[in-house]
C-alpha cells in the first residue's frame, strides 16, 4: 500500500488547490495516513479527514455563497464575526470531534495570549478549523478557555513537522503560493508583504527539514480572495500533483520510483 502523511499550507481562497491535489492522490491509490493543516489547509484537510471526498468538496464549493457567510460584526477583535462560517463547518464535518476521525488530523493556530503556536488535535473539529482561518483584524478570534486563537500562518504555515510528530513515516507537503510579488502600494499591502516574508522564512525551514516530497503550486496572478478562479485553481492543484507524481523539473521520475518514497 502506498502511504504518506500530508501537510497542507494556508493560502486563503487559493487553498482550494489542495482539493485538486487530494483528488489526484486518491486516483493514484495513495493512502493518507496523517494530515495537519493551517488556515485553508486546515479546512480542506479537516473535511477530508471527516470523510468528504474531493469531488464532494468541489460540489460544496460550487454551491457555496461566500457573501452569505460574511456576518459583519464590527467588534473590536474583527469585522467579521465568523458565526455563519462556523455553522457551515459544523454541518460539513457532521459535528465530528477529532476522536471520531478515521485519519489522525491536527490544526495549527496561534494563541495571542501566550504568543505560541497551538496544535489542536482534540475536541470539536469545526471550532478548531474556524480558529485556524481567523485572520487577525478580519475574522474575530476564537476564544477557548484562556486562549485567543487565530490563523497559524505567521508561525507555521505548512506543518510538515507536526505531521512527522504525529507518526507519519513519509511526509508530502503542499504549498500554495504566488511567484508574482506585487509592489506594495498601501498600508494594507505593506503589512501583508511584511508578514508574508516572515511566514515564508519559517515555512521554508520547516519544509526543508521535515518534508520528503513537496508539491509546489504557483498560482502567479490569482489573488488570495479571487472567487471567479476557484475551479481553475483546483485544476491547477491536480495538474501540479500529476507533475510531481510523474516527473520533477526536466528529469523524469517514473511513478514506481515516486511510490517508493511514500510507502
C-alpha distance from residue 157 to each of 2, 3, 123 (Å): 26, 23, 22
- For CA atoms 95, 96, 98, 104, give the dihedral sign: negative
Measured CA to CA, the distance from residue 105 to residue 6 in angstroms comes to: 10
Q: What is the DSSP string of 137-149?
A: EEEPPEEETTEEE
The answer to whether 34 touches 162, Cβ cutoff 8 Å, is no
The residues pairing with 251 across neighbouring beta strands, listed in sequence order, are: 248
Residue 151 appears among annotated catalytic residues? yes
Residue partners of 166: CB distance under 8 A and separation at least 6: 5, 34, 36, 104, 106, 121
Measured CA to CA, the distance from residue 183 to residue 163 in angstroms comes to: 35
Q: Which of 7, 111, 132, 151 is labelled catalytic?
A: 151
Residue 178 appears among annotated catalytic residues? no
Positions annotated as catalytic residues are: 39, 151
Amino acid at each position: 500500500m502506498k502511504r504518506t502523511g500530508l501537510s497542507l499550507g494556508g493560502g486563503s481562497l487559493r487553498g482550494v488547490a489542495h482539493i485538486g491535489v487530494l483528488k489526484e492522490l486518491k486516483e493514484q491509490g495513495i493512502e493518507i495516513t496523517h494530515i495537519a493543516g493551517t488556515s485553508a489547509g486546515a479546512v480542506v484537510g479537516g473535511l477530508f479527514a471527516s470523510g468528504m471526498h474531493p469531488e464532494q468538496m468541489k460540489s460544496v464549493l460550487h454551491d457555496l455563497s461566500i457573501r452569505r457567510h460574511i456576518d459583519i460584526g464590527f467588534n473590536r477583535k474583527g469585522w467579521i464575526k465568523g458565526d455563519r462560517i462556523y455553522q457551515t463547518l459544523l454541518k460539513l464535518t457532521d459535528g465530528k470531534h477529532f476522536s471520531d476521525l478515521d485519519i489522525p488530523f491536527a490544526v495549527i493556530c496561534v494563541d495571542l495570549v501566550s504568543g505560541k503556536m497551538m496544535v489542536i488535535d482534540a475536541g470539536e473539529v469545526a471550532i478548531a478549523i474556524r480558529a485556524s482561518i481567523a485572520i487577525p483584524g478580519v475574522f474575530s478570534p476564537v476564544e477557548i478557555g484562556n486562549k485567543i486563537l487565530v490563523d497559524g500562518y505567521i508561525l507555521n504555515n505548512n506543518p510538515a513537522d507536526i505531521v512527522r510528530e504525529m507518526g507519519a513515516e513519509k511526509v508530502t507537503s503542499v504549498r500554495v503560493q504566488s511567484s508574482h510579488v506585487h509592489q506594495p502600494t498601501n498600508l494594507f499591502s505593506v503589512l501583508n508583504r511584511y508578514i508574508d516574508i516572515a511566514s515564508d522564512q519559517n515555512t521554508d525551514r520547516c519544509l526543508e527539514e521535515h518534508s520528503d516530497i513537496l508539491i509546489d503550486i504557483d498560482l502567479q496572478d490569482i489573488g488570495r480572495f479571487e472567487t471567479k478562479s476557484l475551479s481553475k485553481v483546483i485544476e491547477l492543484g491536480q495538474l501540479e500533483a500529476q507533475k510531481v507524481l510523474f516527473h520533477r523539473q526536466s528529469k523524469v521520475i517514473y511513478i514506481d520510483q515516486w511510490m517508493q518514497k511514500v510507502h
